[in-house]
Structure 1
């Protein structure tokens, strides 16, 4: 197994199938997973952009304002310190994924957990996919980004102190240790994207 180690500057790297592990080190790095295996990407210091592509990937932003996109597959995203953007879902995936059970952990800072962008993610009635948000914090300025309007969404508490986010009768996310989520205070709503 090969391991990619970045430089102290800004690195751009796409992993091959024989290199499932990458460390960006310092600088504003852009790292892409291979798309065909379970990759692990570490941004470390700097404002990094990490893309898992296909497979069950693990992305760690580290220090800085990082952008983490898991792509298709059941991914684990950890923003670390800084104001991070976390997208577990595959935004440009042409067909409905079968195993989109993503885990999103923002870390410290004002993070954005993206559950919709142009379309609602995890909303297919044919699958039971959803995202799991581990550490939403209104006090730190976290936001949950969704597609549509307030009337499309419901919030329900379960017996374990979690908030279940529903979109048009489909469960799209489970927010751990969150009993006071508000659609008005904690969510941002996006409309259609025309290409």
Structure 2
């Protein structure tokens, strides 16, 4: 293992695997041709894994970490970090503070960690999780699985046929292009399918959801947790449709701008 100095270090990896532990300076760490392990430690560091399957840690402060080619594992750790997987299938976790996490090419797994993060899947079939905090998640190209987890999140599938979960708290889910599945989960959520034939998921114990752009004949409502159409009542509410439980009259969803008299069992699955 090579150990840095308290100054601003510049390290360039060789053909062999490299292990470099920085100290307190603002360092530039560039990997070589093989699989490297870098730890930026303290200060604002720039870390580029280059080729190979790398293990990269930003450490404290504001770091820029690039995986580049290879299947890389990247942790921002502490500080407001900017993390980019670039090529291949990468695993990235912002950990603490408000981070920007971008997958790049490949089928990536992205985690925001704590605080309010921005997560961009980019190309490939990605899995992105906001974790804690009020996060903004965009899947972009590919068939993505997106989950806000905790906090009031904005989750946008962008392009492709995506599966989108809100998680806890009050979220905004946007399918955008493609045929998407929008599952608000817990909390009072806003669901916007966008273009394509979308599926909106409702359940008895999943909070109250506002479905903004339900299109009859194109979109569908999926009932989960044993709930059936026969257990529901559809009533009008100022040019909107309220979906209520027959047992206690509690509303579980509203369809914006949809005539209640037109909603029937064919809209459900």
TM, length-normalised to structure 1: 0.71
Larger Rg, first or second structure (1 or 2): 2
Deviations 1:24-74 (A, max 9, x none): 11111111121x311111111111111112221111010111111111221
Q: Does 1:122 align with 2:206?
A: yes
Note if contact 1:89-1:121 (Cα within 8 Å) is conserved in structure 2: no
| Deviation readout 1:57-98 (Å, 9 max, x if unpaired) | 1110101111111112211111111111111124xxxxxxxx
2:242 counterpart of 1:172:
no
Aligned residues between the structures: 169
CA drift of 1:6 comes to 1.1
How far the C-alpha of 1:156 sits from its partner, in A, is 4.2
Alignment map for 1:25-44 (pairs within 5 Å): 25-34=104-113, 36-44=114-122
Which of 68, 74, 98 is 2:152 aligned to?
A: 74
How far apart are the structure 1 equivalents of 2:244 and 2:116? 29
Q: Answer 1 or 2: higher relative contact order, Cα 8 Å, separation at least 6.
A: 1
- Residue 118 of structure 1: CA displacement? 11
In structure 2, do the counterparts of structure 1 residues 165 and 103 end up closer, same or farther at CA, with 3 Å as the change threshold?
Answer: farther
Does structure 2 retain, via aligned residues, the 8 Å contact 1:68–1:77? Answer: yes
- Secondary structure in 1 matching 2:171: strand
Deviation, 1:183, is 5.5
Distance in structure 1 (CA, Å) of the matches to 2:99 and 2:105: 20
Distance 2:236 2:117 in 1: 34
- SS of structure 2 residue aligned to 1:59: strand
Contact 2:173 2:184 in 1 (8 A): no
Q: Residues 58 and 138 of structure 1: is their aligned pair in 2 closer, same or farther, counting only changes over 3 Å?
A: farther
User: 2:141 corresponds to which residue?
Assistant: 63
Matched, 1:50 2:128: yes
Counterpart mapping for 1:144-159 below 5 A:
144-147=221-224, 148-159=227-238
Once residues 241 and 162 of structure 2 are traced to their aligned partners in structure 1, the CA distance between those partners, rounded to angstroms, is 22
Q: CA deviation at 1:174?
A: 4.0
In structure 2, do the counterparts of structure 1 residues 149 and 26 end up closer, same or farther at CA, with 3 Å as the change threshold? same
Large movers: runs of 4+ above 2 Å: 115-123, 130-139, 141-146, 151-159, 161-188
Unaligned runs of 5+ in 1: 91-99, 124-129, 189-195
Report the counterpart of residue 20 of structure 1 in structure 2. Answer: 99
In the alignment, structure 2 segments of 5+ residues that lack a partner are: 1-79, 186-200
Judging changes above 3 Å, is the alpha-carbon distance between structure 1 residues 37 and 108 closer, same or farther for their aligned structure 2 residues? same
Q: CA deviation at 1:186?
A: 3.8
Deviation of residue 145 (structure 1)?
A: 3.2
RMSD value over aligned CA atoms? 2.7
